[in-house]
Structure formats: C-alpha cells, structure tokens
Amino acid sequence: MKIKNKILLLILITIIFGCEFQSEKNEKLNILWLVAEDLSPFYLNAYGDPRAHTPNLDRLAKEGVVYTNNFSVSGVCSPSRATLATGLYPNSFGAQNMRTLNQQPAAREAGIIDYQAVPPPEVKMVSEIMRENGYYTTNNAKEDYQFFKSELAWDESSIYAHWRNRPDKKIPFFSIFNFGVCHESGMWNSRKNFFDTGDEFPPSRNEKQWWVKYNGTNQKILVPEDLKVKIPPYLPQNKIGENAMKRMYTNIIRMDKGVGRILDQLEEDGLLEKTIIVWYSDHGGPLPRQKRLLYDSGLRVPLIIRYPNKVRAGERDDRLISFVDFAPTLLSMVGLEPPKYMQGHAFEGNFKAKSSRTFIHGHADRFDESVDMIRAVRDKRFKYLKNFNPEKPYYLPLAYRENMEVMQELLRMRDKGELDENQSLWFRETKKVEELFDTENDPHELKNISLDPAYASILKKLRAECERWMGEIDDKGFINEIDLISDFYPNGKAQLTAPPSIEFNNGEVSVSCETPGARIGYRYTSEKAPYLGWNHYSTPLIEREGDTLEIITHRLGFKYGITSVFNGKQLKTFYPANSHDD
C-alpha cells in the first residue's frame, strides 16, 4: 500500500509540474515576484537566523521551497535588474556599470553622460514575452534596468500597478512588487522620501501621500533593546556596529509586513493556489563590505518559491542558481520555451535544464564615481576572484555609502589606527591579482588561499572557468566606458527607433519598421487607460472613423517613436523628450 501511495504521489507531482504548471481547470497559473532590496539570506529565520520576526516569509518557506545557493550576478541593483529583465549577463552587452541612466556628479566630471545600454536587437524584456503570450503584466514600481523599459513590456509600471487592475479577471498575470525598506539608504543617519511598505498596496490613484517622508533615525527599532546580535567580523565590534545590525533586522521585519499585505490580497482574491509566488532580493546586504562586492555577502541572495497546493512544501534545494536563470525559468514555468539568446537556463518548469549548474559568475565594475574591474566564479564551496586592477585598493570612496553611521565609524577607526586584522582587509592599498576562498570554512572570505599549494588544482579550475565565461559572453568590461557610450550613442545622442512604414488598404493599416529589433505596438485613443499597455502588433489593423490609431516603434536602448494615424493619414512621428536621452 505504501508503494502504491508513493507512485500516486509521483504521478500527482508529474501532473502538476508538467503541462505548463497549469491548474486543475487547465488554466495558466499566475506568477508573482516579490522583491526585497539589499538583503543577504544570512539574517533570515528561513536560513537560520531567528532574530527578525518574519511570519510571512516563514510561511512561504514552510509551504514552499527554500533555495539555499542562489546568487545575483552583481553586488548592486541596476546591473542585476538588467539580467533579471533580459536573461543576459550585464557585462555581455555593456550594462555592467552602476548606473547608466543617472550619473553621480563625479562621474559626470569624468566625462560619463547619462546613457542607455543597448542590448542585441533580438533581446526582449521577459515581461514583454509574457505579454505577447496572453499575460497581464505589472511592475510596482522599480525599473532601473540600465535602459528604459520596453514600452511593450508592462500593462502598467507605476506605484499603482497591481493584478487587480486587469480588465478581465480570467486573464493570467505576471506581477512584480518591490520592497525598498531594506535598501542601503534605510541604514542612513537620516532619510527622506523613503518607500514605506507600511502603506496599502496599491494606493488609490487619488492618494497623494504614497511616498512617506520620515527621518530614519526616528523610526522605532522593532527588535528587543537587549537583543544579542552577531556583528560580521569586518564591521565595528561596538555599539555602532550593534545598532546597524538592529536597524537592518528592523527593516527586514517591516519588509515582511509588506509581503504579508500582498499575500493577504492574493488570498482575498482567491488566487493563492493559482499563483506561483517567488520571493527574493536583488543582491546582498546593505552594510559596508557587503553591497557592491563579490563576496557572498554581496552576491548571495535568498530565494523562496511557493508552488500552488504547497507542492514540495518544506523542501530545501541546494542547486546553484544564478539571476541569469530567472528569466528562462519564468518562461519555463508557464510552458514557454526560453529564447536561444538567453544565457541562463531554466531550473524549474517544462523546459528545466537536464543538469544543474557547476558554477555561478559575477562581476564588479564602476560604482557611481569609483571604477574597478573584478570577476568572480564560484562552485558550491570555493570562490575565485580575478582583480584586473590590483594596484587599486579594495575600498573605494563612495559618497552614497558614507551616509551610513557604521561606514563613518569604519573610516574613523581607520584614520585612528583602531581597525583589527579583519576590518583592515578591506582597506588594503593593493590587491592580489587572484584570490581564492573556501566559503565552507571561511564564510566571510577573509583568508586568501590562492597561494596555498594544497588548492592549486581548484585555483586552476576556477581560473579556467573565469576565462572561458568571459570569452563566451564577450565581456565588455575591457572597453573604456566612454568608448562604450560612443558605440551606443554614435553622435552623443540616443539612437532613434525608425518611424513605422504604414500602408493603407481598404480600411486596413499594415505596419512595419526598418530598425532591427524594433517592436511595434498600437492602441486606439478611445481605449487608452493607465492600467492597459500597448497592444502587440501582429496583423493588419482596422481604422475606426473618428478614432485616432497610435502606433509605437521601440527597440531596447533606443528612443521610441509614436506615430498617429487619423482618417487614412499618417501624421508626424513624435519622440517623447527625456532628459537622459537629450
């Protein structure tokens, strides 16, 4: 009897996880991404640290799968989101520098203008592919992809975006909600206009006070005053270091409450068992020597997925997973074969890869006004770093990071000669060309074992993998950024997507565009609404008397154009002004 029960269970799992992850009514499942910012897994109950009260994440972990070896491609958000949106490594198409769309003053002084990275012409945002295949897609609300979003990627991308806005409740949705409360700026001595997840999702469109102003130091600490925290050895082992940890735990608690509100809304709508819920963070932690770096404190991120009907509930999955795998996995989960240009592979769904990853890869390049170039390769135990500028120190000044009291304390201790051996490592004046760490025995990556003969074969293997990966993706880190910008902006200006070629035939409108990789969308002005995106063009359109037909042409990384058609006439193409492109 037990054998029969096991066979029946296997059959049930096969049915649920085959057939495009469809529900029992053969309906396509919804996908919900819940994204925290600047958060390592090490400080969460689901990963072994109970200090922050996170009942909603704990519920997801209990009812879903906890992935224990998930990694971003970068220790900072914009390049990471470029990968999440496209399924490409940022350094494969010139999106590796933080950030491209809005330069810091010091970067401007060095001649770096605001610019868009330009992906290859065949590349689409993964949400656009979802829309093409019948999904209602929303993003609330962070974009930050190193290029302006495809105008055909979202039905709505704003603080008001929500699956509840879709015009037909039978339409499946792909929705993203971003929780900014854990962001590095939440650790500042003071902070204004910070996103407060304590408010409702979504706000009313008439609500004017959605971005709540407050002074961060006045926010109540939500952990016990006498809580014993474990301060990482590279941070100040004093009251300031302790307060930083308590602030971080408090921000995690507040983020969890925001997650709970979204889950409540999903249940209120009767959609919990019709939705795959994916919760993760955009890169590692917010503290010094975490964010921006290629140690596990900067690259390793939590990932919890709850499948409908609690399939695989309580499971822990230790496969290596990279952000470059997220886009193909999203498509695979809904039964769509990922495009060949994507550089990752699906780890779940109909098109799940036959074998698991052996390595993950990461990069570090320009961060605001500071420039370096480092590449990382990691297997399940060992981390390899290649420093292309060994003459530079690891610590490079960043005005943004120095808003944190704990960073100010580190600098004070450095100047006073008070740093201990572990804290001093970050402030070395030069770096080794190669570094190797045993993350199992040295989780904070403090001891470089690259010169130890006992690890020579491991060093050789990871070095070769780093060279292979960089060659395979044609790593753009070797190109001077000003030259890269010249390639993207040949005349110092963003390239324009060509106006559409339009043919009229007995009331039908046929549209094409000569720009390679341009996508074409349309809408009738009588049907415009803030929660409805552009329709994807595929077949000739019907003119409507007295109704203007708007046609958009857009290639990622280019400026988009809007052309109106009215009463059988094609009007002039309009390119919306944008300060980043002008």
Q: Which residues are catalytic?
A: 77
Beta bridge partners of residue 559, listed in sequence order: 496
**Cα(158)–Cα(154) distance, integer angstroms:** 10
Quickly count: other Cβ atoms within 10 Å of residue 295's Cβ.
24
Assigned token pair, 493? 């200006």
Determine if residue 356 is left, alpha or beta; phi over 0 gives left, psi from -120 to 50 gives alpha, anything else beta: beta
Are residues 554 and 560 in contact, defined by beta-carbon separation less than 8 angstroms? Answer: yes
**Cα(468)–Cα(461) distance, integer angstroms:** 11
Instruction: Give the CA dihedral 81, 86, 89, 90, nearest 10 degrees.
Output: -50
Which of these, 553, 575, 521, 386, lies nearest to 463 by C-alpha position? 386
Determine which helix (DSSP H) or strand (DSSP E) holds 16, and give its type and residue range: helix 2-17
Assigned token pair, 3? 């054998």
Which of these, 33, 14, 10, lies nearest to 22 by C-alpha position? 14
Which of these, 75, 67, 15, lies nearest to 356 by C-alpha position? 67
Assigned token pair, 359? 């390595």
Please, what is the Cα angle at 333 between 331 and 337, to 5 degrees? 40
Assigned token pair, 155? 């039905």
**Cα(545)–Cα(317) distance, integer angstroms:** 58
Residues in contact with 7: Cβ distance below 8 Å, sequence separation at least 6, in sequence order? none
**Cα(80)–Cα(298) distance, integer angstroms:** 12
3-state secondary structure 418-472: CCCHHHHHHHCCCCCCEEEEECCCCCCCCCCCCCCHHHHHHHHHHHHHHHHHHHH
In order of 462, 474, 508, 565, the CA distances from 471 in angstroms are: 14, 5, 48, 47
**Cα(559)–Cα(151) distance, integer angstroms:** 10
3-state secondary structure 360-424: EEEEECCECCECCCEEEEECCCEEEEEECCCCCCCCCCCCCHHHEHHHHHHHHHHHCCCCCHHHH
